[in-house]
Chains A and B, each alone.
Chain A
Amino acid sequence: MASSLEPAVVGLGLTSMSLSAGGVPVDLAIEAVAGALADAGLTARDVDGLLVNSSQGVRPDRLGVALARQGGLGDLRLLEHVEIKGATAVAMIQRAVLAIRAGLASTVVCVFADAPLRAGGTSGSTYAHSGGSDGARGLERASGVLGSVPTYALLASRYFAVSGGDPEDLCAVAVSTRAWALGNPDAVVRKPLDAEGYFASRMISTPLRVLDCARPVNGAVALVVSGEATPGPAPRIHVRGMGQAHPMRRRRAPGESWFGGGRAAVDGALAMAGLTRADLDVVELYDPFSVVTLLLLEEYGLVEPGQAGKVVRSGATAPGGDLPVNTGGGQLSGFYLQGMTPLAEAVVQLRGTGGARQVPGASTALVGGIGGRGDHHACLILDLEPSR
């Protein structure tokens, strides 16, 4: 039986974002799901679909479809562990909307949880020890490429060579994103940041400093997507457009392989929505590293090629600017819960509940999720207005 309304995001639940060890993903997920259902005015018995997004890497307690049983849900019509690396959270919303439109489910919960912070070790240490010894990753690790920072540092190095950018551009992203975080109570880093503070921060892998890197947290986010009328007070956030792009950039010489090819995802989503880039009120991007914000602004056609640094340095992406980007502090200063970070913030902004960081009158948002090394792109156009 098809649902009665256009599928929309009707519930949002976040755990507290912890910078210290504690919690396991399944418990964090259950807490976030409960919060999202309460937000929507629903109970577990209203749910007939569950989509699960686990963190990458080899972790014994990663989230899986067992969450349905462990979390006390009833019989389901849709249950999947979705996996497109970091693009998964955004892709889950796409999957939920399509399933509801097809009559395969009516109310679908989408959840991500992670707990990379362990007692006795930093998150950097957790990542440094992940990856294994086989394949290209094993060869890279033997060459000192531990964790993901050196990889994105290589990307940044190449991006600078191609775009003409420099560390001042990275600084501008970190400062702009921090300015947004100041207004977000869920952001884990809310200390004012200026250029002096940025350049005083610890270098991790040139040109990336610690303030260019996302802040891992232990936490979870869940969203409810439903085609039914729900009692919650929040406005329905509609999914007017969606797209994916998986560019097969070959690592071959000569030629670029670190970036490029994601634009089709945004073009497709905008075409589906019948909107243009000028219609976007807020842009929420997956920003595991500051350089990725620069890169995606160009790759997604939001600024002219080679102009991202200049645009960010102008203040356009910061509070009060005309191209608000990562308005909750992103993954850099807000919290790193992979694709859920931009997704949750877009919902907050369109609901108008952003408080001190609210972009006045925001009604249309672009959400961009990436996975791998920018190998996977999934995006959404979220809107207060339905598409039909």
Chain B
Amino acid sequence: MSPNTDATIPAVLAAPDAPDAEDWLVDAALAPLADGSLAPLYAGAAAGELTLPFCATCGLALELEQRACDGCGATDIRWRPVERAGTVHAVTLVHRREPGLVRVTEPYPVVDIELTSGHRLIMTTLTATGSAPAIGRPVTVGFRVVGGVAVPAAVLSTTESSAPSEPSDAATPDSPRATGTAPAPVPSETEVSQ
């Protein structure tokens, strides 16, 4: 497991335009561990790029926590920017709002996105919305900032402006820059669900 290290990006970077702004949805206490096992994703997000793992040998899109390719068995993983576009695979409108962790007073959406890169990613929307987007609907991906850490968020293009927070320089899938990041991913034991 040796991610490319040709570019070094600080693991934690504030959003370009509003470094100290609070996220619309959750408290800063829910900031993800920026230098943990998904460090390349967060480093890319800080630079406005959606950075996801691929098998360095056969190019298969891998799951976020995968450490060996199920296609060819290789353990060399390459994180690289992908097109920030996809469609809604599944969706829910969360009504339960845990006091102290969730900041909104109305239900909020969570979507599971099929990305054009072949990955799947669960996220909420870039800005508050009380409606759940339909399965199959196209979305683009921008970034929220939670406790100083940029995280992917869905932009519902036809009803929601992505202007303030979405980075302007769209990543190209095969961009040579930022294909790797400083800290090597460390395997972790993370509770996935019950």
Partners in one complex: yes
Q: Is the CB of B98 within 8 A of A154?
A: no
- Chain B residues lying within 8 Å of A318, measured Cβ to Cβ, are none
In the assembly, what is the distance between CA of A148 and CA of B191, in Å? 11
Chain A residue nearest in CB terms to B147: A142
For residue A103, CB closer than 8 A to chain B, the reply is no
Q: Is the CB of A206 within 8 A of B132?
A: yes
Q: Is the CB of B191 within 8 A of A257?
A: no
Q: How many residues of A contact B (CB 8 A)?
A: 60
Contact mask B51-64 → A, CB, 8 Å, 1/0? 00000000001011
For residue A200, CB closer than 8 A to chain B, the reply is no
Q: Is the CB of B94 within 8 A of A251?
A: no
In the assembly, what is the distance between CA of A303 and CA of B162, in Å? 45
Chain A residues in the interface with B (C-beta under 8 A): 56-58, 85-86, 124-125, 127-151, 153-158, 161, 202-208, 248, 250-254, 257-258, 288, 338, 371-373, 375
A to B CB contacts below 8 Å, 17 in the list: A127-B194, A133-B33, A134-B36, A134-B188, A135-B64, A142-B31, A142-B32, A143-B123, A144-B108, A146-B101, A148-B193, A157-B135, A161-B135, A205-B93, A251-B119, A253-B61, A253-B114
- Chain A residues lying within 8 Å of B99, measured Cβ to Cβ, are 125
Q: How many A-B residue pairs have CB under 8 A?
A: 179
Q: Is the CB of B119 within 8 A of A134?
A: no
| Contact count band on B | 35 or more
Chain A residue nearest in CB terms to B120: A251
Pick the contact of A134: B33, B86, B117, B146 (CB < 8 A).
B33
- Chain B residues lying within 8 Å of A248, measured Cβ to Cβ, are 70
Interface residues of B in 101-120 (CB under 8 A from A): 101-102, 107-108, 110, 112, 114-120
Residue from A135, A142, A207, A371 whose CB has the most chain B CB atoms within 10 Å: A142
In the assembly, what is the distance between CA of A259 and CA of B122, in Å? 16
Q: A134-B33, A158-B89 are in contact. Are A139 and B96 (CB under 8 A)?
A: no
Pick the contact of A154: B30, B110, B114, B190 (CB < 8 A).
B110
Q: Is the CB of B190 within 8 A of A137?
A: yes
Q: Is the CB of B90 within 8 A of A252?
A: no
- Chain B residues lying within 8 Å of A138, measured Cβ to Cβ, are 32-33, 36, 38, 190
Q: Is the CB of A154 within 8 A of B112?
A: yes
In the assembly, what is the distance between CA of A136 and CA of B31, in Å? 13
Q: Is the CB of B98 within 8 A of A125?
A: yes
For residue B155, CB closer than 8 A to chain A, the reply is no
Pick the contact of A136: B89, B94, B190 (CB < 8 A).
B190
For residue B26, CB closer than 8 A to chain A, the reply is yes
- Chain A residues lying within 8 Å of B124, measured Cβ to Cβ, are 143-144
In the assembly, what is the distance between CA of A129 and CA of B191, in Å? 12
For residue B37, CB closer than 8 A to chain A, the reply is yes
Q: Is the CB of B102 within 8 A of A135?
A: no
- Chain A residues lying within 8 Å of B65, measured Cβ to Cβ, are 135-136
Q: Is the CB of A155 within 8 A of B63?
A: no
Q: Kindly provide the distance from the CB of A216 to the nearest chain B CB, expressed in whole angstroms.
A: 10
Residue from B86, B89, B101, B120 whose CB has the most chain A CB atoms within 10 Å: B89
